[in-house]
Amino acid sequence: MADELGLVVTVLADLPGPKIRIGRIAGGQLELVKGQKLTLTTRSVEGQAGLIPVRFKEFSQSVRRGSRVYLNDGFIQLKVLEVAGEDVFCRVQIGGLLLSNKGLNLPDARLAVEPVTARDLELIEFGLEAGVDAFCASFIEKAEDIVKIKDFAASRGQGAFVVAKIERREAIANIEAILKVADGLMIARGDLGVEIPIEQVPVFQKELIFRANLAGRPVITATQMLESMTVNIRPTRAEVTDVANAILDGTDAVMLSEETAIGHYPIEACGMLRRIARITDARRASLVTSDRLRAALLDSLERAGASTEDVLSLDVLEALKAPLGVRFVLAPTDSGGTPRRIARYKSPVWTLAFTPFERVRNQLMLSYGVWPILLDEIYVDEILLDQLRDDGLLRPGERVLIARRNPDGPRGKVNSLAIVTLLK
């Protein structure tokens, strides 16, 4: 469909991971009232008044009297009264409307389940065969969870672009190691807001965005961005501010979920998100907030050693601060690494990423301010400039920055930056 419309998009497959969900409810929904007694069961039944099926066979072994059970991202809360075989008897602490297949969280339990499940591996194999561009790894806790996915893809003769979903306390604790092996980050605020006290989510969101920017990884902020638009045609002022603040903090992308999956106004929600993003981005003081990033990056380079790509991205930042009138940054790339590192500074000009690989082009759509262009010959400056001139993007007298690699060096190693003026 994207090809038919002439659009470049990232096809991002969201792996389920060990997500616990309830089963089907007769009629699709059920109203739970505070004080009501309710039985959760792993038996194969259809949900009805007073009885809800749970699709997790170890559920009754994972809770005890007094345990908390959260449904629908914590909007509905239960307390366990008694456990008997496959049945868990609860009392509703906070009620609400419960829909079929909603998520279930156990904040008091430490579940002995692997973040990457056998079902995940089946779906990864299917996704690779179908041409999926990237995978979201759900409920990961450590770097090894990401490595497991990458190793599995490698065993199938392919690479995997893996976005780590941060929705567990353990993932926050291991974020530095995760960022070293993950290709991107998603702040999944729904489950995260159940795993940690909900009032801590904004602070962790800001810190996670900064850490992802520092590592040169695209970061997606997700969950309840415009939640009220599932039933209302306009969002709340708080939701609009939430989206804008995520952008001002440095997120590369914002994501809708229920708003478009089950909402009444999916098109209007997309349009609203787009308008908020455009207006907020236009008013951002570009490169001002990058000073903290620059200082942190220099500090990390001193401690861990500098990479050519990181030093180059700093050079691009300094060049853009100078009054040179640069129109674009050109970043030829095989892997997408260089334009992603440049994108962390939220440049005021577009970074045009030339790549011969369709999947890399698609993946780069996740990075802020990067416009990927598919081109076979990417390491000849004249070809790049001719392409821009022929497309009407560059006129004589205009300047660009070109991030070059040494043609005689290792493939993919960018090692120079040039300021080029188009003469004719």
One digit per residue, the tens of pLDDT, for the chain of length 424 reads 788 888 999 999 999 998 899 999 999 999 999 999 999 999 999 999 999 999 998 899 999 999 999 998 889 999 999 999 999 999 999 999 999 999 999 988 877 788 999 999 999 999 999 999 999 999 999 999 999 999 999 999 999 999 999 999 999 999 999 999 999 999 999 989 988 899 999 999 999 999 999 999 999 999 999 999 999 999 999 999 999 999 999 999 999 999 999 999 999 999 999 999 999 998 876 545 567 788 887 877 766 666 777 888 888 888 888 888 899 999 999 999 999 999 998 888 999 999 999 999 999 999 999 999 999 988 888 888 988 999 899 999 999 999 876 655 555 555 788 899 988 7
**Pairwise CA distance, residues 315 & 155, whole Å:** 38
Neighbour order of strands in the sheet with 12-14: 12-14, 134-137, 162-166, 184-188, 219-222, 253-255
**Domains recognised in the chain with CATH numbers:** 2-15+113-282 (3.20.20.60), 26-105 (2.40.33.10), 290-421 (3.40.1380.20)
- The pTM for the full model equals 0.88
Q: Residue 287: its pLDDT value, please?
A: 44
CA angle, 9 then 162 then 196, to 5°: 110
Could you report the per-residue pLDDT of 243-278, keeping only the tens digit for each? Answer: 999 999 999 999 999 999 999 999 999 999 999 999
Amino acid, res. 12: L
β-bridge mates for residue 187, sequence order: 166, 221
Could you report the per-residue pLDDT of 337-350, keeping only the tens digit for each? Answer: 999 999 998 888 99
Q: Residue 258: its pLDDT value, please?
A: 92
Contact between residue 73 and residue 194 where contact means Cβ atoms under 8 Å apart: yes
Q: Residue 308: its pLDDT value, please?
A: 74
